[in-house]
Amino acid sequence: MMERKMRRSRQLLGDDRSRRILAEGKYAVWAVAGDDDYPYSVPVNYAVEGGYAYIHSAPAGHKIDAIRRNPRCSLCVVDRDEVVPEEFTSYFRSVIAFGEAEIVENDDEKLAALNLLCAKYSPGIDPRAEIDRFFNKVCIIRIRLDRVTGKEAIELVRKEQGS
């Protein structure tokens, strides 16, 4: 995988912090190579475990067609975005993960991913009835997280460094 060096390296977040932001984010924007070579990005709910992110989807549609043509994709999570009008900027913190997507075919892994998603988005609620109701109608996409990189506004870097 080609790795582009960040131009403003002072703003680079460490790997552990970037992966924590990715794991804890509420939603991501998932980008794939869409129809006619147009980028296609869509907000998704997701969960991370180990070196993978899991997304649920209908078993057919634009996303599924795209990853069958080209599994390369990215996920973007915005951790902070505070517009500061008087400074003509925003104090941002975000993470982008690059990897390859594939459809989960194994029922045990599919069930584990659904439980992971339910634990993240419906904590404390027993998901068994809901999972049973939709198990055969839902598709789980696994994204191998090959590279995760984060960046934050220089103003946040300076604040953290006390300068």
Query: For the segment 103-125, what is each residue's pLDDT rounded down to a tens digit?
Result: 999 999 999 999 999 999 999 99
Confidence check: pLDDT of 4 > 80: no
Q: Which two tokens stand for residue 18?
A: 């970037």
CATH code, domain with 45? 2.30.110.10
Q: Examine residue 1 and state whether it is found in any structural domain, yes or no.
A: no
How open is the CA angle 131-49-118, to the nearest 5 degrees? 25
- Report yes or no on whether pTM surpasses 0.75: yes
Instruction: Identify the domain containing residue 67 by its residue range.
Output: 9-161
The percent of residues above 90 in pLDDT, for the chain, comes to 75
- Identify the CA nearest to 145 among candidates 75, 56, 51: 51
8 Å CB contact between 162 and 116: no
Higher model confidence: residue 121 or residue 6?
121
pLDDT at 152: 84
Q: 102: buried, middle or exposed (CB in 10 Å: 19+, 13-18, 0-12)?
A: middle
Q: Examine residue 55 and state whether it is found in any structural domain, yes or no.
A: yes
pLDDT at 161: 73
Q: Would you list the DSSP string of 26-77?
A: S-EEEEEE-GGG-EEEEEE-EEEETTEEEEEE-SSSHHHHHHHH--EEEEEE
Tell me which H or E stretch contains 20.
helix 15-24
Q: Which neighbouring-strand residues pair with 50?
A: none
Q: How many helices (H) and strands (E) does the chain have?
A: 5, 8
Residue 67 to residue 60: CA distance in whole angstroms = 11
Beta pairing class for 46-49 and 52-57: antiparallel
Q: Examine residue 36 and state whether it is found in any structural domain, yes or no.
A: yes
Q: Which two tokens stand for residue 63?
A: 């996303």
Number of domains forming the structure of the chain: 1
Give the type of residue at 141: I
Confidence check: pLDDT of 1 > 60: no
